[in-house]
Chains A and B, each alone.
Chain A
Amino acid sequence: MARATEAIIFRGTVVAALAAAVLAPVGLIIYQSFLSGPFFDPTATVGWDAFGFIFTDPDFYSAFGVTVIFAIGVVAIAVPLGAALAFLLTRTDLIGRKILEPLALVPMFLSAIVLGFGYTVSLGPSGLVSLGAERIFGFVPWNIYGLGGLILFGGLTHVPHVYLYASAAMRNIASDMEEAARTTGAGIWQVAWHVTWPLTFPALIFASMLNVLLAFESFGLPLILGDPAGTVVLTTYIYKLTALLGVPSYQLMAAVAVVLLALTFPLVFIQRRLLAQSRRYVTVGGKGARATRIHLGPTMQCVALAGVALWLLLAVVFPIGGIVVRAFVSAWGRGINIFEHLTLDNFRQLLIVPALARSLTNTVILAVVGGAIAVGAYLLVALAGHRWRGRFSSAIDYLVLLPKALPGLVVGLSFFWVFLFVPALQPLRPTLISLLIAYTIVGLSYGFRMIQANLLQVSPDLEEAARTAGATTGQTWRSVVVPIIRPGLIGAWTMMIIVFLREYATGVYLMTNGTEVLGSMIVSMIAGGSVDMIAALSFISIVFTLGGFVLALRLGVRVNE
């Protein structure tokens, strides 16, 4: 009897720990939104003042509207393109797909602020590409600033977030299902529409959902591409609220964050409903050989390659190219020949600042070691929810998405408070552990889902075989389940390394002398105008990430399987 409850104790403990870890910062924000001042200020009173303020501010409604349009636009661009890209790379014999696979993830390597700077250097009013176009047309035929540019580039750079989940789902479709459709006379696109698409539906629903949340909490791109045209989204509206009174007004920030949070619940609910209805689609793992890919004719090859190339140009070459160029010049833009201003000074400057070297080390430790620990934590959560029909299993679905529903800087501030005001956590604050915990929770929505998908592919028979052979649930997980999904875990680890390397918002408040991290240092440097160093740092970061990523792929790591 005692051992029968072992699994229940484990599940209960994990869900309770997850709830505590997620709800502490989120709950603090909710509490803060109902106060008249900082929550630690004894004179603060409870009330609706903060909501009263934002709900009577016309700027709030305009920012709200813009945010919703932005989110819809991002999903409308990123989801179809991400799905198409995944289809081409996983299900067809597209030429060069081996090289395209890692490239498709490159927009995820950099924080959005840096990507935004990259876009201004290449496509801005004085951008290198813009000036070239001006030479041809006599004027710059585009304007990247404003809601249009924001949606377009937001959508294009979020394609990897869809590709990642869609390609994982598509790889698991047994090719005999597609072949069956082809033998009945369906063309490639009919197969895609009638077979592949419905089978990928659950993954795309999740990806859409994630992208809505990412758009809601997106800050870097709206700051760089929205600001010049006066386009304000809720996150940049929060920024404005902060400055409005000269000192941070936490209750106003929190109230806006709570509005964003409130939008998450119906979204998760809709997602669950849609997925519940589509459960009949979830056919995990075909047994047959999956080697056959759909053959594209020469015309289709050209069309598909041209489409992928265009996307790569807009989402990878222009922003990354912009940052790379910026890293090696001292001046650029109108009337400047950049070849006359090539320099390595930007890199030399990095050497003189000890905090930067430290932040590089810390970031790598956090990404590599922390990423592994985070994957371990996600595995525990995923196992707790695995084959569990208990009442709280659905709670996990909500909990993992909550941290992503809040703007990163607000979550970062909240984590700072949690580590500051919870006595048991105080000793951790000046250590990297505090950042690791915060990163792990913020990264939940990325990593948990990947591991969960892997677990679902383990046939229940394999687990039951272990149970009947005498293994407890825990022994079954250790000896059977975890070894089987090991390749998936390594893929998730690679993914978390990428996510942690570029993370910036979480550490802005939490980092302290000795625990500096690159992303958050960049935030401080942006305020001070050290764009030269930011570009140089970003260049190094791209090289490291891409290098590590290619190495991982060489070693046989599958990121999206």
Chain B
Amino acid sequence: MFFHIVLERNMQLHPRHFGRNLREHIISKLMKDVEGTCSGRHGFVVAITSVENIGKGLIRDGTGFVTFPVKYQCVVFRPFKGEILEAVVSMVNKMGFFAEAGPVQIFVSNHLIPDDMEFQSGDMPNYTTSDGSVKIQKDSEVRLKIIGTRVDATEIFCIGTIKDDFLGVINDPTTI
């Protein structure tokens, strides 16, 4: 699920950036530092939309670096248990398959794949129904439901299922 929230961060800036473009420097460094990171609490930071306010800088003793408290608005993506996501399959093996929904990695184990789909090994491993009408392989798009998340301080990993109504392949790359 996506959220638009306000976060705060202390930015350390080298003295050489002090000048007319101080604000721009702070913002570009903030984007470089924050976008694409993941915190267990808020999820993945997708994009910074605006900077609300930059506080007074504090000069660090000894180094000359200055710390600015920065408040910024950003879009975060946080997967939840029970959420339905669309994801792209990144790897298929006999234990199941891995899929990616943006920055999130999701593992679907083979017993959460419908019983009528069988694993086919080969140079393009895949899961196929007995009549061959549905095939899950690398780069397939699937709709899945998250049934468990592991949230660490710096990463989020999910397991999903496609064994439910309206879940499964939504777009097969070979038919395009």
- A, B bound: no
Which residues of A are interface residues toward B (Cβ below 8 A)? none
